[in-house]
Structure 1
C-alpha cells in the first residue's frame, strides 16, 4: 500500500504542476492530495514535499492555518464556477441540479469554513 501512496503522490504533484501552468486545471486540490499521500506513505517524502517551493507557494497557509488569501479564494472560485457553468450548459436537468447543489456547497465551504488571511 505504501508504494501505491507514493505513486499517487507523485501523480498528484505532476497534475498540480500542470494545473499551475494551465488556467483550466486546478492546482491546490492535487497538491493537497499529494500532501495526504506522502503523509501516509513516507515521513521522508512528506518532509521533502514540505520543503518544496510549490508547497510553500500554494499550500503552506492552508495546511498550517486552514486559511487562504482573498486572491486565492477568488481565483479558485472563479475558475471552478466557470468550469461548472460550462458543464451546466451541456448537461440534462438532473445533472444541472447536481451542479447547482455542488456550487452551493462549494461557496458555503469557501465563505464559512475556510478563513481568509491577509496577503504577505
Structure 2
C-alpha cells in the first residue's frame, strides 16, 4: 500500500508540475497553486524529487518567497484569487442543473478567498524580492 501511495503522489506531483509550468506562459492556468501542490506531493513521496524541485529556478522564483516568508504580496494574492475565480466562474455557470456541484465549487472558492485573503500573510514587494534573492542564492 505504501508503494501505491508513493506512486500516486509522484504522478500527481508530475502532473501539477507540468500544469504549473504551462501556466507560466498560459495565463488561464495558475502557476503558484500547481507548484505548491507539486512541492507537497514530492515532499510526501520522494526526498530526491523534493530536493530537486526546491532547487529549481521555477520553485525559487514562484513559491520560494512564500515558503521563506510565509507570505505573498497583495498583487500576487489578487492575481491568484482572480485567476481561480476566472477558472471557476464558467464551471459554476455551466452547472446550473447540478446544485451539489455548484455548492462544492462555492465552498472551494470561498476557501481560496479565506485562506489567501486572511491566513497567508501579506508582505511588501521588497520583502518578496529579498526572499527571492535569498532563494536564488541557495
- TM-score, length basis structure 1: 0.82
User: In the alignment, which residue of structure 2 is the partner of 1:104?
Assistant: 110
How much has 1:4 moved relative to structure 2? Answer: 4.2
- Superposition RMSD in Å: 2.1
Aligned residues: 120
1:109/1:8 Cα in 2 relative to 1: closer, same or farther (>3 Å)? Answer: closer
In structure 2, stretches of 5+ residues that fail to align are 130-138
1:84 to 83, 88, 93: 88
How much has 1:75 moved relative to structure 2? Answer: 0.7
User: In the alignment, which residue of structure 1 is the partner of 2:44?
Assistant: 40
Q: Which has the higher contact order (CA 8 A, sep 6+)?
A: 2
Q: Which segment drifts farther, 1-10 or 19-28?
A: 1-10
- TM-score, length basis structure 2: 0.73
In structure 1, stretches of 5+ residues that fail to align are none
